[in-house]
Chain A
Amino acid sequence: MVSTVSQLFDNDYDDEGFRTCSVTGLEIHRSAENHVKLFGLTAVIALVVGGFFAISVAMTRWEVIGLMDEADYYRHLSMHAWNLLIFWLVFMEIAILYVGGPMVLGRRLPLTTVAKAGWLLMVAGAIGVNYFIWTVSGAEVEPLLTAYVPLNVPTGFYASAVVFLLGATVAAVPFFATIWKEKRWGTRKTLPLAAFGAFVTGIIAVQAILGGISAFSYALVWKLGIIETINSGAYRTLFWTIGHGSQQINLLAMITVWYFLTHVVGGAVVVSEKVSRSAFILYLFFINLGAAHHLMADPALGVGWKLFNTSYAFYGAAFASMIHAFAIPAGLEAGRRQRGLGGGLFGWLTSAPWRNPVFSATIFSIILFGFVGGITGVLMGQLQLNMTWHNTFATVGHFHATVAVGTTLAFMGLVFFVVQTMFRRDFVSGVLASLVPYFYAGAMGIATLVMIYLGILYGVPRRTSSVVRNIPGADFSISAAAPLMSLFGVFAVLAILAGALFILVTLGSLLFGARLDTGEDAGLRPDGGLKPDGGESVHAVDMRGTFAMCLIFMATFVALYVINWFLLVQLWSIGA
């Protein structure tokens, strides 16, 4: 077993520790590759833990089964949330920084001791958070992701959260050192787009993490009795820089992965480097301000502050997303048309390698994130519309659309990619691997949609396990929501099965998959290779397929916008 695991960290490197990737053509150093594997595998373990608690959470909210009582449900929900929203994603994001930095730039990972120290701190913090959530008793309560003070949560929880966040900051240092070295001694005038995206992701991550360290440290010193009182408004504002900022790290990391994977397995080109870079810069200034939408119902904050963050600042971030939403499919369309791979409106898309799970996971992530997560994010991020979404199950639907479908699917694709290109293992079953993105995207996509409609249609609250029979403390029931709740339960179970299949294929391939020989590309290279075969310049290529998809997207956006405003007007009977 030990030898099997140690073999996972072994590849054929030259005397200087480099090897050439047979898929991407990148010069990869052992130090970078092994740390990507280390952080990636840890992320998958967190996914297993969080996914396990998805079973109990879903089986409780599906009230026909009603697996647990309220207190146990909250404990399991906390385990589910921390392991999936934070640990699975942040460990993956550090791995992505090492791919986007040293790997793309063809450098060794500097400060490997620091990287290992960061990993150790992160693991210690993650174990601590899990321990304190699981063992909480007496007057103390389980801290969900939104562990607002003065909620009486264990002191060790705050300390563990700080340790984890410090670890993530430490782990990011070697990445920034790589970028600094590249700019100081490198020969490139500009960073490649993937490295640039990773760099902006890193900056946003540090910004968010520092906010998180501030928030949890503030709560920690209050819990230790070093300070008597705490300003809960200030805590909430600080908390959301990590609470929502962590999801913005996901967004940027995911978009970087989209650019990277559509290029290496789909043959996409970058239509305009400047435009895509400008979109990343817009994120840098505006995306973290999106955290404000959690505080729209907070009486402590001024309306001016809320309006600025949810309109002017918000447009900057939404505009950036629109640019990526066009640039990535346009790059795919242009790249494939340049190779002569697809006529008609969508031939370039349907002729793509859909049996390759890396490709299908990436494309489903783009589509579902854009249509479900992105649009709902803009809707509920608005000051006025936030009132109809706030703290309903629709909010849970929104972040499952962004994180569980969008980011997780993209990262699943990346894990499959890493299994074949870095661990050099073939899938233990190609058919099952191909099935995973379809199964997961379909089941989780529908479960997510149902959550959104349950929140909007019935106002089902987000954190109460018993909804159909009773909402504690309220005089009304929403038993009419029972059919949709059952629909949610069925698709949640299917999504969990799809997630389990992903884990089985990944771990099965690592342990029992056939070793890929040096130079073998496992069918990952796009038709015609990575470079377009000449012909028309990218600006002369027909991109009407992307244009048509963008029109469909805009029509959906407008329709949902109008419906949501109409519902809001009906609730308040404006003008009546």
Chain B
Amino acid sequence: MSDQRTSRSLRWYLGRLWRDLLSVYYANTPIWRWLKSGALVFFGFFAWMSGTVLLSVRPEWGFLTYVMAYGFLLLFWGPFTHFVVVPVSIRLRRTAEHPTVRAVNRHAGKINLSIFFTLVLVFGTFTPGIMMFEFDPGLGDGEQDDVRGTLVCDVDDDVVSCHVDGAQGIDHVVATSGGEVVATVDEPPFAFEVHTDELQETRTGNELVVEYRDESGELLRRQVRTF
């Protein structure tokens, strides 16, 4: 008897939960549209970024791309569903006369969710660039890009001597201070000397900016040192 009551009670609660979910999904007043869309954008951002953060430390967990795809698509699909799909579906429920339209409309919710989850599968599997973030910290170890080199500087009698250790992928180096060029070097190891008087004084000391550039003068990496 007790079990029966528990069972009935549990079924009743589950039924109410389902009815509540349906009522929230189909609620269609202006404020409901805004609230649901806002909440889904918020949740989508959370899922997208959480997946991204976890993937940055566990790149072997490929399933996270599906979590990211879910969140990323929810940013657009959430508002689309509640500003377009649900209102149109409710309107067609009253006004549609063609039997095909009525039949399709009867399953509008299922169709909408099916398309959404199919897109999640596609985006999760093929991961378009716009959805993915890079995590390359640019440490200069040469494994993740073809530009590397460590700037090494010493100060002796107010003369700053610098060179780039292990330079690769760098065409030339331009050293500036206060916007003025103080040295340009074309040959590895890109060694140069500057007197500290030539460097602009900042609150943390005399500042030297060293830029690694490619053949066309494009900036590859920028280093700042103070002495």
Q: List 17 A-B pairs, Cβ < 8 Å.
A: A71-B202, A346-B27, A371-B42, A449-B46, A453-B52, A457-B135, A458-B135, A470-B223, A473-B224, A476-B138, A477-B221, A480-B133, A483-B133, A484-B133, A556-B46, A559-B50, A563-B54
A350-B29, A446-B45, A563-B54 are contacts. A477–B133 as well, Cβ < 8 Å? Answer: no
Mark contacts of B14-41 with chain A using CB atoms, 8 A cut-off: 1 yes-contact digit, 0 otherwise: 0000001001100101011011001001
In the complex, which range does the number of interface residues on chain A fall in? 35 or more
Q: DSSP class of A's interface residues: helix, strand, loop or mixed?
A: helix
**B128 CB within 8 Å of chain A:** no
A322 within 8 A of B: no
**Residue among B27, B34, B135, B224 having the largest count of chain A Cβ atoms under 10 Å:** B224
Interface string of A453-481 (1 = CB under 8 A from B): 10011100000000001101101111110
Asked if residues B24 and A346 are in contact (CB atoms below 8 Å), the reply is yes
Q: Given contacts A445-B42, A479-B138, A548-B20, list 7 more A-B pairs with CB under 8 A.
A: A346-B24, A350-B27, A350-B31, A442-B38, A480-B136, A559-B50, A563-B53
B50 touches A563 (CB 8 A): yes
Q: Is B10 an interface residue (CB 8 A)?
A: no
Q: Is the CB of A476 within 8 A of B137?
A: yes
A152's nearest neighbour on chain B, judged by CB, is B203
Contacts of B57 in A (CB 8 A): 566-567, 570-571
Chain A residues in 8 Å Cβ range of B135: 457-458, 480
B121 within 8 A of A: no
* Residues in B neighbouring A325, C-beta threshold 8 A: none
* Given A345-B24, A449-B45: A567 touches B222 (CB 8 Å cut-off): no
Please, how many residues of chain B have a CB less than 8 angstroms from a CB on the other chain? 42
List the A side residues contacting B49 at CB < 8 Å. Answer: 449, 453, 457
A70 and B223 CA atoms in complex are apart in Å by 15
**Which chain B residue has the least Cβ–Cβ distance from A352?**
B31
Is A457's CB under 8 angstroms from B138's CB?
Answer: no
Of the candidates B23, B29, B41, B151, the one whose C-beta lies within 8 Å of that of A344 is: B23
> With A and B bound together, what is the CA distance between A344 and B29 in angstroms?
14
Please tell me which one of the listed residues A456, A476, A479, A556 contacts residue B140 in the complex, with CB atoms under 8 A apart.
A476
Within 8 A of A (CB), among B96-138: 133-138
- CB < 8 Å A-B pair total: 92
A567 vs B49: C-alpha distance when bound (angstroms): 13
List A423-449 residues whose CB lies under 8 Å from chain B. 438, 442, 445-446, 449
Partner of B53, one of A344, A438, A457, A473: A457
| Bound Cα distance A81, B15 (Å) | 51
Which residue of A70, A457, A469, A478 is within 8 Å of B56 (Cβ)? A457
Q: Does residue B161 face the partner (Cβ distance < 8 Å to A)?
A: no
Complex-state Cα separation, A449 to B224, whole angstroms:
30
Q: Which residues of B contact A570 (CB under 8 A)?
A: 57-58
* A368 closest partner in B (C-beta): B42
Closest partner residue, chain A, to B50 (CB atom): A563
CB pair B34 A470 closer than 8 Å:
no
List of A residues within 8 angstroms of B56 by Cβ: 457
B138 contacts A477, CB within 8 Å?
Answer: yes
Of the candidates B32, B34, B52, B224, which one forms a contact with A457 in the assembled complex, judged by CB atoms under 8 Å apart?
A: B52
- Asked if A438 and B222 sit within 8 Å, CB to CB, the answer is no
Q: Which residues of B contact A458 (CB under 8 A)?
A: 135
A71 touches B222 (CB 8 A): no
Cα–Cα, bound, A469→B221 (Å): 7
8 Å CB contacts to B: which residues of A550-566? 556, 559, 563, 566
Name the CB-closest residue of B to A571: B57
The chain A residue with its CB closest to the CB of B138 is A477
In the bound assembly, the distance between CA atoms of A475 and B141 in angstroms comes to 11
Q: Which A-chain residue is minimally distant from B132 (CB atoms)?
A: A483
B24 touching A475, Cβ below 8 Å? no
B225 & A473 in contact (Cβ 8 Å cutoff) = yes
